[in-house]
C-alpha cells in the first residue's frame, strides 16, 4: 500500500501466532541491515465520501451522495479544501446524535487517537480470534480446562487445519483424527450448525470462538 510520505510503501504480512506476538512487542524488524517499524494491521473500513467508519463505497450502505470534507467537515471534497479551521464530521455527528462530548477540532482522517476510530478498532478486534498456546494468550474464547497430560514427559500432538467452511471436509475430520491421533486440533473456518460443528463425536471437548470462525477440539481422553 502507498504510504503517507512520497516514495514510501506499507507491506501487509502474515505471521504465525507466536511470531506475531513477538513482533508486536519488538515493534521493529531488521531487513538487509535496515530496521523497519512493525505494527498490527487493523483492517478498519472508512468511506472517503462521508468519512464515516464501518462501510465503504462498495457496500452501498451510505446515504450521502455529496461528500464531507475530511479536514473542515463541510460539503466538499477533501482535496479541494482551503480552510484553516479543522472540524471532524464523525465526532460532531456523534456529539449531536449520541450525546457524546468529543473534541471536534481535528481532522476526520489521519489521527489514530480519534474516539470514533478507536471505537471502530474495538469493534474490529471483537471479530478476531487470537490465541497462542505457548504464550497462554486467549481472546474471545472460553477455555476453562487446564492442558495437562498424564505424563509430563509425553509431548502433545497438535493438528492445525483450515476447513474452508466445507461440510464434507468437516464431516471427515473425525476420520483424519482417528488416523493421526492428535491430542488437540486447531481448526479455522469450520462448517458450523446451530453453534456446533457437525460430524464431531460427542466425546470430544469443543471450544468455539464467539464468531464461530475458529475452534479448539480435544479428542484425546488424556486432557
* Domain assignment present for 190: yes
- Per-residue pLDDT of 159-204, as tens digits, reads 888 777 777 777 778 887 888 788 888 888 887 777 678 778 888 8
The most confident of 52-56, 59-63, 102-106, 135-139, by mean pLDDT: 102-106
**pTM of the predicted protein model:** 0.46
Query: Rounded distance, CA 106 to CA 188, Å?
Result: 41
Task: Please report whether residue 163 resides in a domain.
Answer: yes
Q: Report pLDDT for 147.
A: 47
Which domain, by its residues, includes 180? 158-218
Which long-range contacts (C-beta less than 8 Å, at least 24 apart) are formed by 69-77?
A: 69/108, 70/107, 70/108, 70/109, 71/107, 71/108, 73/104, 73/108
Residue 205 lies in a domain: yes
**pLDDT tens by residue, 123-167:** 777 766 554 443 333 344 444 444 444 445 567 788 888 777 777
Average pLDDT (59-72) is 81
153 falls within a domain: no
Which helix (H) or strand (E) segment holds residue 123: the answer is: helix 115-125
157 phi, psi to nearest 5 deg: -100, 115
For residue 137, what pLDDT is reported? Answer: 37
Task: State yes or no: pLDDT of 98 exceeds 50.
Answer: yes
Q: Is the pLDDT of residue 217 over 50?
A: yes
Q: Is residue 13 part of a domain?
A: no
Q: Report the number of distinct structural domains present in the chain.
A: 1
Structural domain contains residue 179 = yes
Q: Is the CB of residue 104 less than 8 Å from the CB of residue 88? A: yes
Structural domain includes residue 139 = no
Amino acid at each position: 500500500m502507498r504510504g503517507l510520505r512520497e516514495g514510501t510503501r506499507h507491506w501487509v504480512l502474515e505471521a504465525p501466532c507466536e511470531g506475531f506476538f513477538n513482533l508486536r512487542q519488538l515493534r521493529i524488524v531488521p531487513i538487509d541491515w535496515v530496521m523497519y517499524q512493525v505494527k498490527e494491521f487493523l483492517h478498519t473500513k472508512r468511506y472517503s465520501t462521508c468519512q464515516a467508519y464501518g462501510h465503504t463505497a462498495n457496500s452501498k450502505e451510505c446515504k450521502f451522495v455529496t461528500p464531507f470534507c475530511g479536514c473542515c467537515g463541510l460539503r466538499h471534497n477533501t482535496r479541494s479544501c482551503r480552510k484553516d479551521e479543522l472540524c471532524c464530521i464523525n465526532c460532531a455527528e456523534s456529539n449531536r446524535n449520541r450525546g457524546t462530548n468529543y473534541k471536534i477540532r481535528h481532522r476526520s482522517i489521519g489521527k489514530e487517537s480519534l474516539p470514533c476510530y478507536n471505537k471502530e478498532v474495538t469493534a474490529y478486534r471483537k471479530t478476531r480470534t487470537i490465541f497462542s498456546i505457548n504464550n497462554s494468550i486467549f481472546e474471545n474464547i472460553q477455555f476453562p480446562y487446564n492442558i495437562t497430560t498424564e505424563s509430563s514427559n509425553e509431548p502433545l500432538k497438535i493438528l492445525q487445519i483450515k476447513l474452508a467452511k466445507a461440510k464434507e471436509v468437516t464431516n471427515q475430520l473425525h476420520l483424519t483424527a482417528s488416523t493421526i491421533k492428535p491430542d488437540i486440533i486447531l481448526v479455522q473456518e469450520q462448517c458450523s450448525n446451530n453453534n456446533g460443528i457437525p460430524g464431531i463425536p460427542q466425546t470430544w471437548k469443543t471450544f468455539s470462538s464467539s464468531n464461530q470462525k475458529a475452534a479448539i477440539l480435544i479428542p484425546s481422553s488424556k486432557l
